[in-house]
Amino acid sequence: MTGTTDLAEAVCADDGRLEGVDLRVLAQRLGTPLHVYSAPAIGARIRALQTALRGQDALICYAVKANSNLAVLGLMADAGLGADIVSAGELQRSLRAGIPAGRIVFSGVAKSADEIGDALAAGIGRFNVESKDELRLLQDVAAARGAVARASVRVNPDVDALTHAKISTGKSENKFGVGIDEAREWFADSTRLTHVRLDGLHVHIGSQMLCLDPIQLALQRVAALWRELTSSGYAINSIDVGGGLGVRYRDGQDQPVSVQDYAEVIRKTLDGFGGRILLEPGRWLVAEAGFLLTRVLRIKQGRQRRFLVVDAAMTELVRPSLYDAWHEIVPILRRPLPPQIYDVVGPVCESSDTFAVDRQLPPCEPGDLLMIKTTGAYGAAMASNYNSRPLAVEVLLERGRYAVVRRRQTLEEMIAGEQPARNWECA
What is the set of active-site residues? 349
The answer to whether the Cα torsion of 3, 6, 10, 12 is positive or negative is: negative
Instruction: Say which amino acid occupies 372.
Output: I
**Residue 157: how many CB atoms within 10 A of its CB?**
23
> Which range, of 201-209, 303-311, 340-348, 383-391, touches ligand LLP by CB under 6 A?
201-209
Choose the stretch contacting ligand LLP; rule: CB under 6 A; options: 39-47, 132-140, 186-194, 275-283.
Answer: 275-283
The only residue of 63, 97, 332, 383 in contact with ligand LLP, by rule CB under 6 A? 63
List the interface residues with ligand LLP, window 150-189 (CB under 6 A).
167
Per CB under 6 A, the segment of 47-55, 75-83, 269-277, 281-289 that binds ligand LLP is 281-289
Region 349-378 residues binding ligand LLP, contact defined as CB under 6 A: 377-378
Helices 88-96/70-78 angle, 10° precision: 60
Helix (H, G, I), strand (E, B) or coil at 64: helix
Binder among 111, 283, 295, 389 for ligand LLP (CB under 6 A)? 283
Q: How far is the CB of 256 from ligand LLP (least distance, A)?
A: 12
Spatial separation of the C-alpha atoms in residues 372 and 16, rounded to whole Å: 13
- From residue 72 to residue 111, what is the string marking binding to ligand LLP with x (rule CB under 6 A)? ------------x----------------------x----
Task: Provide the minimum distance between the beta carbon of 284 and ligand LLP in the complex, in angstroms, as a whole number.
Answer: 6
Could you tell me the smallest distance in angstroms from the CB atom of residue 323 to ligand LLP? 6
Q: Quick one: 351 exposed, middle or buried, by C-beta within 10 A (0-12, 13-18, 19+)?
A: exposed
Closer CB to ligand LLP, 34 or 161, in the complex: 161
Strands 306-310 and 340-345: parallel
CA angle (312, 317, 322) in 5-degree steps: 125
The stretch near ligand LLP (CB under 6 A) out of 38-46, 139-147, 274-282, 358-366 is 274-282
Give, as one character, the DSSP assignment of residue 98.
Answer: T
Bridge partners (DSSP) of residue 402 are: 397
Give how far Cα 48 sits from Cα of 61, 239, 259, 365, Å: 15, 21, 7, 40
Nearest-approach distance from CB 20 to ligand LLP, in angstroms: 28
- From the CB of 384, what's the least distance to ligand LLP, in Å? 13
CB count within 10 Å of CB 33 equals 26
> What is the phi/psi pair of residue 84, to 5°?
-105, 115
Q: Are 183 and 202 in contact (CB under 8 A)?
A: no
The only residue of 69, 131, 156, 208 in contact with ligand LLP, by rule CB under 6 A = 208
DSSP of 317-353: --HHHHH-----EEESS--SS--EEEEEE-SSSSTT-
Burial degree of 195 (CB within 10 A; 0-12, 13-18, 19+): middle
In the complex, the smallest distance separating the C-beta of residue 242 from ligand LLP, rounded to whole angstroms, is 5
Cβ(204)–Cβ(170) under 8 Å?
A: yes
* Least distance CB 327 / ligand LLP (angstroms): 11
Q: What x/- string results for residues 221 through 250 when contact with ligand LLP is judged by CB under 6 A? A: ---------------------xxxx-----
| Residue count, binding to ligand LLP (CB under 6 A) | 21
316 makes contact with ligand LLP (CB under 6 A): no
Contacts of 220 (CB under 8 A, 6+ apart): 269
Task: Look at residue 218 and give its three-state secondary structure.
Answer: helix
214 touches ligand LLP (CB under 6 A): no
| 262 binds ligand LLP per the rule CB under 6 A | no
Kindly state whether residue 326 participates in binding ligand LLP, applying the rule CB under 6 A.
Answer: no
Please identify which residue in 280, 288, 316, 368 interacts with ligand LLP, judged by CB under 6 A. 280
Of 44-52, 185-193, 276-284, 411-419: span binding ligand LLP (CB under 6 A): 276-284
Residues belonging to the chain: 427
Residues at the site binding ligand LLP, with contacts judged by CB under 6 A? 63, 66, 84, 107, 167, 204, 207-208, 242-245, 280-284, 319, 323, 377-378
